[in-house]
Chain A
Amino acid sequence: MSAVGLAAETWTRRHLLDVDQLSRSELEATLDLAAALRERRRAGDLGEAMRRLAGHTLGLAFYEASTRTRVSFELAARELGATVVDLSVAGSSAAKGESLVDTMRTLERTGVRTVVLRHPAAGAPYLVARTTGLRVLNAGDGAHAHPTQALLDALTLRDALGGTLRGRSIAIVGDVAHSRVARSNLHTLTRLGARVVLGGPPAWVAAFQHWPGVNVAASLHDALRGADAVMTLRVQLERAAGGGIGSLREYTRRWGLDEERMSWARARAPLLHPGPTNEGIELTAELAASERSLIGRQVSNGVAVRMAVLSLLAD
């Protein structure tokens, strides 16, 4: 524990807008701290960390539905001693048409110092960061970024792949184009030294072919071949129609994952999914519940990663 220490250096930055802000060593240090906090929390021994955010008020502003992210941010903040207020958007002035900037300025005036923002518009956290004094934690903005999800995915993968992602090959299958999870994962995985192969219908993956360290595969077989781990993304059902694929059935036949197809990847290659899953579409229920599946581990790592990020942000 002393190698990492729970009182790790804080970042010089006040916001976490995307993982693109973090260098490789900062990413590694964040994951190390998350792993340490995970062990301490499991042991019921957070010690000093319990007061890291004492006297600090954190607001949850979720303009889109969320279970995993919202609950784990709330738990993480409470574990660190913060007071948490939940801006229930449906019952707030935002529902009366108040602008995002005005709502956030109001939140700031009430004494909230950090906001965890989930918003359907790409870039919304950047707007809040530049127009208010709040510290902004991006909990997902449109199709742009979901930095804490990418960090928890990296921690999950690092644990499963022997402690490092350097030289590993990770396949990401599905609707990358509309996925904030995939975009943030591309930043972290390539920074941590992994190669990424994308698989999916052209409208969902082709635009990423020039991302350094990323290859686009022509078939699921090509995408999975040699993969050390596989991540599949949620097919956003509301978006599928007219969004570059034919029917869901066609998608599942060409790109859906099952145990048999997973055999194209390396032996025992783990499977990740950011959730919530559409079982029977992007993966089978059997695969989701199989030994390969790290979906449960991803969720449980979410709290530790968010505790780490909350600890590291500068005041």
Chain B
Amino acid sequence: MVGHTTARFGALTDAPATFLLAGVRVVDPANGSDAVRDLAIVDGRIAESRDLPDDIRRLDGQGLVVAPGFCDLHTHLREPGMEGAETVASGARAAAHGGFTAVCAMPNTDPALDEVARVAWVTTLGRDASARVRVTAAATQGRAGEALADFGDLAAGGAVAFSDDGAALPTARIARSALEAIGPLGLPLIEHPEDPTLASGTLMRAGPVATRLGLAGWPPSAELLVVQRDIALAEETGGRLHLTHLSTAAALDAVRRAKDRGVRVTCDVTPHHLSMSDAWVAGDRTFNWDEPGPTESEPFGEALDPLRAYDGTCRVNPPLPCREDALALIRGVADGTVDAIATDHAPHPPERTLVEFAEAAPGMIGLETALSLGLAAVEAGCLSLAGLLAAMSTRPAALIGEERSLRPGAEADLVVFDPADRWRVERDWLASLSTNTPLMGMTIPGVVRLTLANGRVTFDEGMGLLV
């Protein structure tokens, strides 16, 4: 394992980079290529090897992988309003550490990002950050679910999508109005599909583990009902619908069928819903592609682990799924039904998570561990490396109108990582201000060595480009 003391962060406003990475595995989902070769960057752009300056700095890329920079469709940067948990600057550093070059900031801040000035303010904060900060604006004024936000103004002001994330639009009528209104803009309505009449008061996925733990169970119908409703509304209005953090096989099937009919619907899943199961709430810490842990094997048998059971960092909306659903989601990533892996990076300070499970703020950080969880799935043979990287880079980027390519002439927007190296998730390793993830203390594969956004080095782990 490499030490983290060498990590350095750069900014989008730094000077463009020039270097050559020799003998690196270049995976570019944009053209389906995967080959070990040299990759050169000159003045922030991918260069042909014949056009290089004689004194170009050569870095050893042996054993490393380079891929287009990751794009996160679902990030909570917490600014304004909850700067103790995260800021635009710290969240962008966490993004760069995780190989992300762009993040879409969710608007459930305080106040909500429902006006052009607020969108512009967050965008301004991101101008010299370590990742491009794009903004998803609120779908309704104050995220109150009553009056639509001014979609046209917000789009002109830079919003890339609209969402009242944290909740679905509360009624079919307002959801229909929103899809109808955004139709001409071509931007997606991002829905958090959850029926509050079924979900409220629940704490984890319904099933044997919830029964064992005495925690009120969340039924999969809570997700499916809103997914079906919104698909019907998208089909009827022609509006673009993006369903975020799907956690059930049933909802994914509904999306698959809608896509087959030509509905304008896309979806994402989070790394934690792919990798972790409801048994994590009871203290299990095995990934869904590994052998089941003690509680999952015998939900009513073994004693709970006193150090891990009821860990507030395992509380998340939607709740961690059963293994069968998680494996269906992984197959959805592999077959393309799932358009993107999005982190739902949700930082919370310790006082919101070191509490009774029922009091814990839902959500976990994810920007810095997403690649690692994906690589663990690749190591287990559940996903191809190219499939994982496409779901983290080119495919989500396309949904917000960004291009990703490693072809000569393109602006360098990429991540370099060591898939064989491993790291231990610890406070000192995380750029996020928060540490709320059940992965703390665990060792996971994949160390990001270099991230370039807009042709600038935004993260450097021991490559020596930032000193």
Interface string of B442-454 (1 = CB under 8 A from A): 0000000000000
Chain B residues with CB below 8 A from A89, complex form: none
Residue of A15, A126, A129 with highest tally of chain B CB at under 10 A: A126
Give A204-247 as 1s and 0s: 1 = Cβ < 8 Å from B's Cβ atoms: 00011011100000000000000000000000000000000000
Q: In chain A between 89 and 124, which residues have their CB closer than 8 angstroms to a CB of chain B?
A: 99-101, 119, 121-124
Does the CB pair A126–B309 fall under 8 Å? yes
A180 at the interface (CB under 8 A from B): yes
Contact assessment for A122 and B357 in the assembled complex, using a CB-CB cutoff below 8 Å? yes
A186 interfacial contact with B, CB 8 Å: yes
Residue of A nearest to B354 (CB): A101
Tell whether, in the assembled complex, residue B355 and residue A122 are in contact, meaning their CB atoms are under 8 Å apart: no
CB distance from A311 to the nearest CB of B (A): 21
How far is B224's CA from A112's CA once the two chains are assembled, in angstroms? 50
- Count chain B residues whose beta carbon lies closer than 8 angstroms to a beta carbon of A: 27
Chain A contact residue count (CB 8 A cutoff): 34
Closest residue of chain B to A206 (Cβ to Cβ) is B211
Per-residue A-contact encoding for B187-214, CB less than 8 Å = 1, 0 else: 0000000000000000000101011111
Q: Which of A17, A121, A183, A207 contacts B356 (CB 8 A)?
A: A121
B358 in contact (CB, < 8 A): yes
Q: Is A99 touching B355 in the complex (CB atoms < 8 A)?
A: yes
Most buried by A among B312, B351, B354: B354
Q: Smallest distance from the beta carbon of A313 to chain B beta carbons, Å? A: 13
CA distance A101 to B312 in the complex (A): 13
B356/A124 in contact, CB under 8 A: yes
A99–B360 Cα distance when bound, in Å, is: 12
B214 x A144 contact (CB < 8 A): yes
CA gap between A302 and B306 in the complex, in Å: 25
Query: Which of B70-78, B173-181, B295-303, B335-343 has 4 or more CB atoms under 8 Å from chain A?
Result: B295-303
Residue of A99, A101, A121 touching B357 (CB-CB under 8 A): A121
A119 touches B356 (CB 8 A): yes
**Cα–Cα distance between A210 and B357 once the two chains are bound (Å):** 25
Give the CA-CA distance A208 to B300 in the complex, in Å: 9
Task: Using CB atoms, name the residue of chain B closest to A176.
Answer: B211
Q: How far is the CA of A122 from the CA of B354 in the complex (A)?
A: 14
User: Which chain A residue has the least Cβ–Cβ distance from B310?
Assistant: A123
CB proximity of A177 to chain B, nearest CB, Å:
8
Provided the pairs A17-B306, A183-B214 are in contact, do residues A122 and B358 lie with their beta carbons within 8 angstroms?
yes
B contact residues around A119 at 8 Å (CB) = 356
Interface residue? B359 (CB, 8 A): yes
Known: A123-B310, A126-B304. A207 touches B211 (CB 8 A): yes
**Nearest chain A CB to B441's CB is how many angstroms away?**
12
Q: Are B303 and A122 in contact (CB under 8 A)?
A: no
- Given A101-B355, A121-B356; A126-B310 close (CB under 8 Å): yes
B156 within 8 A of A: no
- Pick from B211, B302, B356: contact of A123, CB under 8 Å: B356
Pick from A20, A127, A141, A142: contact of B355, CB below 8 A.
A127
Closest chain-A Cβ to B74's Cβ sits at a distance in Å of: 28
Assess whether A122 is in contact with B307, with CB atoms less than 8 Å apart.
no
Q: Determine the chain A residues whose CB is within 8 A of the CB of B359 once the complex forms.
A: 121
- B120 adjacent to chain A (CB < 8 Å): no
Q: Roughly how many angstroms separate A144 CA and B301 CA in the complex, as a whole number?
A: 14
- Whether the pair A123, B355 counts as a contact (CB closer than 8 A) is no
A21 within 8 A of B: yes
| A269 at the B interface (CB under 8 A) | no
Distance between A124 CB and nearest chain B CB, rounded to angstroms: 5
Give min CB distance, A225 to chain B, whole Å.
24
User: Does A130 count as interface, using CB distance less than 8 angstroms?
Assistant: yes
Interface assignment of A131: CB less than 8 Å from any CB of chain B = yes
Interface residue B465 (Cβ < 8 Å from any Cβ of A): no
Q: Which residue of B lies closest to A130 (CB)?
A: B307
- Chain B residue, CB-CB nearest to A207: B211
Asked whether A294 is an interface residue with its Cβ less than 8 Å from the other chain, the reply is no
Chain A contacts of B399 at CB under 8 A?
none
Instruction: A49 to B301: give the CA distance in the assembly, Å.
Output: 33
Point out the residues of chain A lying under 8 angstroms from B307, CB to CB.
130
Cβ of B36 within 8 Å of any chain A Cβ, yes or no, is no
What sequence of 0s and 1s flags, for each residue 68-88 of chain A, a beta carbon within 8 Å of any chain B beta carbon?
Answer: 000000000000000000000
Known contacts A20-B304, A130-B307, A123 near B351 by CB under 8 Å: no
Beta-carbon nearest neighbor of A14 in chain B: B306
Q: Which of B244-295 contact A (CB under 8 A)?
A: none
* A141 nearest CB across to chain B (Å): 8
Contact with A along B349-374 (1 / 0, CB 8 A): 00100111111000000000000000
> Could you tell me the distance in whole angstroms from the C-beta of A297 to the nearest C-beta in chain B?
26
What is the CB-to-nearest-CB distance from B7 to chain A, in angstroms, rounded to a whole number?
Answer: 30
Given the interface contacts A100-B356, A123-B357, does A15 sit within 8 Å of B306 by beta carbon?
Answer: yes
Which A-chain residue is minimally distant from B283 (CB atoms)? A126
- B342–chain A nearest beta-carbon distance, Å: 29
- What's the Cα separation between A101 and B352 when bound, in Å? 12
Of B211, B213, B301, which one neighbours A212 at CB under 8 angstroms?
B301
Question: Which residues of chain A (155-178) have a CB below 8 Å from chain B?
Answer: 177-178
Please name 20 pairs of A and B residues whose Cβ atoms are closer than 8 Å in the assembled complex, sorted by A: A17-B304, A18-B304, A99-B351, A99-B355, A100-B355, A121-B359, A123-B215, A123-B357, A127-B312, A127-B354, A127-B355, A127-B357, A142-B214, A143-B214, A143-B215, A144-B213, A144-B215, A183-B212, A207-B206, A207-B217
Interface residues of B (CB under 8 A from A): 206, 208, 210-215, 217, 299-304, 306-307, 309-310, 312, 351, 354-359
Give chain A's interface residues, CB within 8 Å of chain B.
15, 17-18, 20-21, 99-101, 119, 121-124, 126-127, 129-131, 141-145, 177-178, 180, 183, 186-187, 207-208, 210-212
